[in-house]
Amino acid sequence: MFVRYLVAMVMAAALSALGLPVHAQGSYPNKPVRMIVPFPPGQATDIIARFLADSLTKAWGQQVIVDNRPGVQGMVAGRDAPADGYTITFGTSGTLAVTPAVFSKLPYDPVKDYIMVSGGVIIPMIIVADSALPYNSLKELIDAAKKAPGKLNVGYGGVNNTQHLTGELFKYTTGVDMVGINYKGSAAAVTDLLGGQIQILVDSLAATLPHIKSGKMKALAISTLQRVPQMPDLPTVAELGYPGFEGVGWAGIVVPKGTSSEIVEKIGADVRRALSDPALRERILDRGMTVDGRAPKEWSEFVNAEIVKWSEAARRANVKAD
């Protein structure tokens, strides 16, 4: 026993001298973990983050504490945290890809400052029409828009966000000339579509699904590459003649650059294990989203491609802000 103890002490001293962590991967985490959410409490992304935080708390036996720091403040706090795995950030398409594409100056860099750990959720965008309009398919809408350039209004559930750029990407890809109208949020955009002030809306599935089910809106196409389980009969824009079209929101876990690969793999594996739980998947689906369990390498490649795509979309649409 004494010999084993002595050997263990010598190895610990050697690791310490080399500046390496004494604790093995299996000991992480051994204290509470902070999850920064760059959105206010109660917002859809915050709700999903809290679902995931609860699941990780149970898996780790350590409290995962949600820290709401909306916008740039949250991303900077996540970047500046110690690279030890005890601060993780719920990064999104907005904070990691769209905002950097639109704003010329930001105090953080999505590529240089973070490691992409794991996908979390995909937030499908959808193209819907006023139920009183005669368009019953995406083709009918596009044909009508091309016959009367600039006559149709398309609303976006936000400004300088994923809804906005998805709408602009749709216009560019299909070659239609519609007047884009930005709203402060989904609620106002939905209200104006229902009231007939706009004819078309590009927004999240979550914001529109209840009105589609009630018959007040017509769903024309979903913006994901594959059909979504909430509306399996609704075709994608890609399969309706525009291969590769994808305009979605997303969210997942990032950590500061410098975090060890062992901790990155550990967090990623546990996040994906949590997302495989049927109860959590059902809660995500109920909120108009789908699960995205991509591992670090695959999710990093996806995020990097999204950064490039939205940067190009913003440039083409001349969407810029200071």
Q: What is the pLDDT of residues 85-135, one digit of tens each?
A: 999 999 999 999 999 999 989 999 999 999 999 999 999 999 999 999 999
DSSP letter string, 278-311: HHHHHHHHHTT-EE----HHHHHHHHHHHHHHHH
Per-residue pLDDT at 322: 73
Instruction: Place 20 in a pLDDT band, splitting at 50, 70 and 90.
Output: very low
Q: Which domains does the chain have, with CATH numbers?
A: 2-123+249-317 (3.40.190.150), 124-240 (3.40.190.10)
Mean pLDDT computed over 170-189: 95
Identify the pLDDT of residue 26: 59
Measured distance CA(231)–CA(120) in Å, rounded: 20
Average pLDDT, stretch 137-156? 96
Question: Cα(first)–Cα(last) distance of the chain, in Å?
Answer: 65
pTM of the model: 0.88
Instruction: Summarize pLDDT for 270-304 with one digit per residue, the tens.
Output: 999 999 999 999 999 999 999 999 999 999 999 99
* Residue 142 to residue 101: CA distance in whole angstroms: 27
State the Cα–Cα distance between residues 27 and 266, nearest whole angstrom.
10
